[in-house]
A and B are shown apart, each in its own frame.
Chain A
């Protein structure tokens, strides 16, 4: 077997050296009745070409040649091939968690750069070395807010990504946290009037997403003012990190829980991605996850180490800030390399292209009779459109033209039937936007 570096004679030699005749004897301690006598009922071993063939066949069963207008938390952006050249290096790909700092300075320096970039992007003072993804980062950020304020209630905007809210609910259930949802207005933003003083006074945090699930930008400053006056924190979650290339960061928030997928990570059917928690420096000891810190060795050379480890499970065990151990380090590296390549101007340009494409798409689609924006608030690269008929049926017809149309949001918002969430990034060529508009017009004129 090509992954096993032993010749039959070496195995024999080693078995003899430990005093047994066969490998079977190595497992004497496993009770007889549990020891398997037959090989497991798995397919025969495959060679490399066969493995590739299996996965190529799977790829062909997906959506080859389709144009997709889906966003909703996972975004298509240009990524450079340089990123993979770096991330595929064995020294990054196959290295371990940098607990032994002297031989992990590459990983640690890169994490330090990642933490810095996340602070710069989000306008916060400290960021960790990654969480699993945006949804779990949000859950952990809420738990962090609970630890800081000692309050058990959380006010969550309905405009937060439905799957993020589901994850939060699962985590909150066993910890006695009370989640109360806050509705939205005609502009598609959180209804701040529902953030009454009495509610805020017993809330650990107000949770809001920006751009939110409808693609609309939220006014974090306004929300923060109300929340802070009653001692509640503001947790802002961000699903579309590229938006921070042009949008004012949520500096007024106390904790930011961000999904970093948009920063050079392929959609990959939903994961692996990279979550980040960034916050005010004064909350750093309540922060979950690993942290890389700068220090020196005895000769005064600058180096980096994992630090403040007493927050974590391997030291504090049941009193840890979180149970997280393995994180998304490799994808934090992807994001780091990607942002270094794009740079200050590149990221801003990418973000502006997103805004321009979305505005163009909105204009084209609103020319179609019966199609109009569902919400008035400003958007970055995705928006909700109202259609004269079922979005699901419309999409079924669009599929025949190899177009994956807007996400029907009626499933998650029963009051919002006939509305679809459509995303247009810098990767969407103008002819494809025009083709979409023409196809939608045709389909609406000729419903099946």
Chain B
């Protein structure tokens, strides 16, 4: 379910690295928690983002979630598809509904993030805590 090549954060973001470009989105777990997404707030192309900071938000009817960037970099592209079709995040969170692409300042930053297996274990643990 969670693409093997991606890296994951505790806040349920994923990042896919291709050279020095990172593509970032939110995970299936996150979209499921939020419910039907109605709106996405994204930064502007060219914005300089600092690791750990919020770069936007994803809104459902009853909740809004900040999205945090796990690396430092400059925004090179934002996914304009999400402006008219925010529901894509629910439908294809790991693929077509990527949020932004950044030029990484330091590609090695991703090494401290979880891989697919570690992330799956992490959310399984969370599910247990909540007694779901």
Contacts and interface: CB of A to CB of B under 8 A. Distances in A.
Contact flag (A, B; Cβ within 8 A): yes
Interface of A: 285, 309-310, 315-316
Most chain A beta carbons < 10 A, residue from B38, B60, B64: B64
Interface in B28-82: 38-39, 59-64
Contacts of A315: 62-64
Contacts of B64: 310, 315-316
A233 B79 CA distance: 28
Size bracket of the B interface: under 10
If over half of B's interface residues share one DSSP class (helix, strand or loop), that class is named, otherwise mixed; here it is strand
A37 B63 CA distance: 46
A315 B60 CA distance: 11
A4 B36 CA distance: 45
Nearest to B59: A310
B114 to A, nearest CB: 28
A44 to B, nearest CB: 48
B53 to A, nearest CB: 15
A346 to B, nearest CB: 39
A316 B60 CA distance: 12
Contacts of B59: 310
Contact of A285 (B39, B60, B62, B63): B39
A309 B64 CA distance: 10
B66 to A, nearest CB: 9
A304 to B, nearest CB: 15
Interface of B: 38-39, 59-64
A292 B74 CA distance: 38
Most chain B beta carbons < 10 A, residue from A285, A309, A310, A315: A310
Contacts of B61: 309-310
A316 B59 CA distance: 10
Give the top 7 A-B pairs by smallest Cβ distance, nearest first.
A310-B64, A310-B59, A316-B64, A315-B64, A315-B63, A315-B62, A309-B61
Nearest to A305: B61
Contacts of B60: 310
A294 to B, nearest CB: 15
A285 B63 CA distance: 14
Nearest to B66: A319
A234 to B, nearest CB: 24
A310 B63 CA distance: 6
A373 B60 CA distance: 57
A309 B38 CA distance: 11
A315 B62 CA distance: 7
B80 to A, nearest CB: 16
Contacts of A285: 39
B83 to A, nearest CB: 12
A298 to B, nearest CB: 14
A163 B125 CA distance: 57
B70 to A, nearest CB: 21
12 contacts: A285-B39, A309-B61, A309-B62, A310-B59, A310-B60, A310-B61, A310-B62, A310-B63, A310-B64, A315-B62, A315-B63, A315-B64
Given A309-B62, A310-B61, A310-B64, 10 more contacts: A285-B39, A309-B61, A310-B38, A310-B59, A310-B62, A310-B63, A315-B62, A315-B63, A315-B64, A316-B64
A316 to B, nearest CB: 6
Contacts of A310: 38-39, 59-64
Contacts of B62: 309-310, 315
Nearest to A316: B64
A311 to B, nearest CB: 9
Contacts of B63: 310, 315
A309 to B, nearest CB: 7
A228 to B, nearest CB: 20
A309 B39 CA distance: 12
Nearest to A314: B62
A310 B60 CA distance: 8
Most chain A beta carbons < 10 A, residue from B38, B59, B60, B62: B59
A285 B64 CA distance: 13
B95 to A, nearest CB: 25
A315 B35 CA distance: 14
A285 B59 CA distance: 11
A237 to B, nearest CB: 29
A208 B3 CA distance: 56
A315 B65 CA distance: 10
Nearest to B41: A285
A20 to B, nearest CB: 35
A285 B62 CA distance: 15
Nearest to A319: B64
Contacts of A316: 64
A444 to B, nearest CB: 63
A316 B63 CA distance: 8
A310 B57 CA distance: 11
A310 B64 CA distance: 6
A148 to B, nearest CB: 13
A285 B38 CA distance: 12
Nearest to B65: A310
